[in-house]
Amino acid sequence: MALHIVLIGPPGSGKGTQAVRLARRYRLPHISTGDILRQAVRDDTPLGREVAATIAGGGLVSDELIANLVSDRLARADTAPGFLLDGFPRTLTQAHLLDRLRSDLLVVHIAASNEEIVKRLSSRRICQSCSLTQSGSQADDCPYCGGLLIRREDDEPETVRKRLATYAALAEPLLALYSARPGYIAVNGLQSPDQVTADLFAALDARR
């Protein structure tokens, strides 16, 4: 049975890690809207040229144009076993457009409270020398290369809260829509990454 997965989760929830693991486990193409936009522009398709012109003019790519790009991508042969959508839909309009393409979606929500995410991200440090990220480190020096560990600007608590507020404004209507459907799966994103992965595998295997 093909798996058609939509992955939703706030910044800092570990969504990127889980997307890679899910795509590898179920041999699904990991499809992100950012990748689709860049590829369409590189391929110089009619839609790609429309995207390039919109961006060059300082405009925002419309929901309909994004949906058309996603539709083209989902029509490719590599999506026969299913797909994992990351970053689409972002709005209710996009969700309704996606419904026209697929009616058998599994919506995976990696849930985590805002304050726990603020704690998690504000405790991250990145090495100025080798760029390795350390989570929850209290040390000043990188354990691998000895470089200085610093907090990234976008991991400052107030910056994280702003990012979460932006995410919530977009995600809450989507979650209200999808959580009422039988294909909705929620897991606790504050567990260890391996436990989150185990819970996701168990939930998805039960739906196959």
Q: Of the residues 73, 120, 125, 163, which is catalytic? A: 163
Active-site residue, 124 included:
yes
Question: How far is it, in rounded angstroms, from Cα 31 to Cα 69?
Answer: 11
**What residues have CB less than 8 Å from 179, skipping those under 6 apart?**
109, 186
90 catalytically annotated: yes
Among 42, 76, 152, 208, which one carries the catalytic annotation?
Answer: 152
- Strands 3-8, 106-111: parallel, antiparallel or unpaired by DSSP? parallel
d(CA 11, CA 199): 20
> Catalytic: 38?
no
Q: Which of 102, 119, 124, 151 is catalytic?
A: 124
Cα dihedral 102, 87, 32, 20 sign: negative
Q: How many CB atoms lie within 10 A of CB 98?
A: 21
Catalytic residue among 90, 102, 151, 161: 90
Candidate list 15, 73, 120, 125, residue with the active-site label: 15
Catalytic residue list contains 25: no
Active site residues: 15, 90, 124, 152, 163
